[in-house]
């Protein structure tokens, strides 16, 4: 007991603050990877580390040597294995500070955009016309815009529907929206490498998840086979939405984007 009291007496407020920051960062890192393949890899690393410690404690020299060399190789390969997660973390850090370039939309413009998008998606879903619509947020999507045909037109449900009509020049690929403007159509998106996805999910859904894994964009997908409406965000896919539910899920994203205070709160939530 005296030893514990002596240790506690040496801890200052600065030490407590330091530990709280470290705990907070570790928690945020866990939240970031908890539903990704990175979590399974991290669990594997922990198992290997425990096995290394146990083998050394038991005097199993050959096993300890093999595990030690394997751990060295794994640690060197970590930046490659965790490249998507590292990229996402750096992008979130950049979005939280001085590098913002948000497109301001007032409340009326937000609602008008969501109404036009919902109307278009409802018609596309009813007629089973495949669609892939990307809503840019804080991460710039110029790299993907350049892969398509630049449009730079005001968003309207008629415009969106016409773009995705089969056998028209722009119907293949994704449409990218910035604020209330259509920047480009026929854009190419990266496909996810997640092999755990259901076989029924086609290229559109895999492209939507792939972009959602690498950026903070919200991606709306309409299935050509079933007419099901889905929303991809933060590497996850939510399916079986209707037009109204889609609006409800998108509205908070635009609210954060439109107001400087919302941007600060968004940074704190995703750091």
| Strands of 218-222's sheet in order across | 149-154, 181-187, 174-178, 131-135, 218-222, 229-233, 236-241
Cα distances (angstroms) measured from residue 63 to each of 55, 57, 77: 6, 11, 21
When pLDDT is cut at 50, 70 and 90, the band that residue 194 belongs to is confident
Q: What is the pLDDT of residue 229?
A: 93
> What's the sign of the alpha-carbon dihedral 90, 91, 94, 95?
negative
* 227, 122 Cβ separation under 8 angstroms: no
In this predicted model, what pLDDT tens digit does every residue of 112-160 receive, in sequence order? 989 999 999 999 999 999 999 999 987 778 878 888 999 888 999 999 9
Q: Which residue has the higher pLDDT, 140 or 187?
A: 187
Q: What is the pLDDT of residue 164?
A: 92
Is 199's pLDDT higher than 90? no
Helix or strand or coil: residue 64? helix
Which residue has 């973390």 as its token pair?
A: 89
Q: What is the pLDDT of residue 124?
A: 93
Is 46's pLDDT higher than 50? yes
- Provide the pairing of β-strand 149-154 with 174-178: unpaired
Q: Is 159 exposed, middle or buried (0-12, 13-18, 19+ CB in 10 A)?
A: middle
Q: What is the pLDDT of residue 141?
A: 83
The single-letter DSSP state of residue 222 is E
In this predicted model, what pLDDT tens digit does every residue of 215-246 receive, in sequence order? 889 999 999 888 999 999 888 889 999 988 99
* 243, 99 Cβ separation under 8 angstroms: no
Q: How far is the C-alpha of 192 from the C-alpha of 233, rounded, in Å?
A: 13
Q: How far is the C-alpha of 102 from the C-alpha of 88, rounded, in Å?
A: 18
Is 36's pLDDT higher than 60? no
Which residue has 């390969």 as its token pair?
A: 77
* 101, 137 Cβ separation under 8 angstroms: no
Cα distances (angstroms) measured from residue 75 to each of 39, 240, 250: 15, 41, 39
Q: What is the pLDDT of residue 202?
A: 84
Sorted by where each begins, the domain ranges of the chain are 2-95, 107-270
Which whole number is the average pLDDT over 16-40? 74
Compute the mean pLDDT over every residue in the chain, rounded to the nearest whole number: 79
Q: What is the pLDDT of residue 265?
A: 37
Angle 263-260-23 from CA coordinates, rounded to 5° = 35
- Percent of the chain topping pLDDT 70: 78
Q: What is the pLDDT of residue 6?
A: 66
Least confident of 64-73, 87-96, 113-122: 87-96
Is 33's pLDDT higher than 80? no
Looking at domain 107-270, its CATH superfamily turns out to be DNA integrity scanning protein, DisA, N-terminal domain (3.40.1700.10)
- Provide the pairing of β-strand 174-178 with 131-135: parallel
Phi and psi of 119, rounded to 5°?
A: -60, -45
Q: CA-based diameter of the chain, in Å?
A: 81
Q: Name which of 220, 19, 234, 231 is nearest 138 in CA terms.
A: 234
């Amino acid at each position: 007991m005296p030893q514990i009291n002596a240790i506690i007496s040496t801890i200052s407020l600065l030490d407590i603050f330091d530990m709280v920051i470290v705990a907070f960062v570790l928690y945020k890192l866990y939240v970031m990877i908890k539903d990704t393949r990175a979590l399974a890899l991290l669990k594997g690393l922990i198992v290997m580390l425990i096995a290394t410690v146990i083998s050394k404690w038991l005097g199993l020299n050959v096993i300890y040597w093999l595990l030690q060399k394997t751990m060295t190789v794994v640690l060197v390969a970590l930046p490659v294995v965790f490249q998507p997660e590292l990229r996402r973390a750096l992008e979130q850090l950049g979005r939280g500070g001085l590098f913002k370039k948000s497109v301001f939309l007032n409340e009326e413009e937000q609602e008008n955009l969501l109404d036009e998008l919902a109307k278009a998606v409802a018609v596309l879903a009813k007629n089973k016309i495949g669609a892939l619509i990307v809503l840019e947020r804080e991460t710039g999507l110029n790299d993907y815009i350049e892969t398509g045909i630049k449009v730079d037109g005001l968003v309207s449900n008629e415009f969106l529907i016409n773009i995705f009509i089969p056998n028209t020049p722009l119907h293949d690929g994704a449409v990218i929206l910035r604020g209330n403007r259509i920047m480009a159509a026929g854009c190419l998106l990266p496909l996810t490498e997640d092999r755990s996805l259901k076989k029924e999910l086609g290229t559109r859904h895999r492209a939507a998840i792939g972009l959602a894994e690498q950026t903070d964009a919200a991606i709306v997908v309409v299935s050509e086979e079933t007419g099901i409406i889905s929303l991809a965000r933060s590497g996850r896919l939510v399916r079986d939405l209707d037009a109204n539910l889609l609006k409800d899920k998108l509205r908070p994203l635009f609210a954060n984007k439109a107001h400087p205070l919302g941007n600060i709160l968004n940074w704190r939530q995703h750091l």
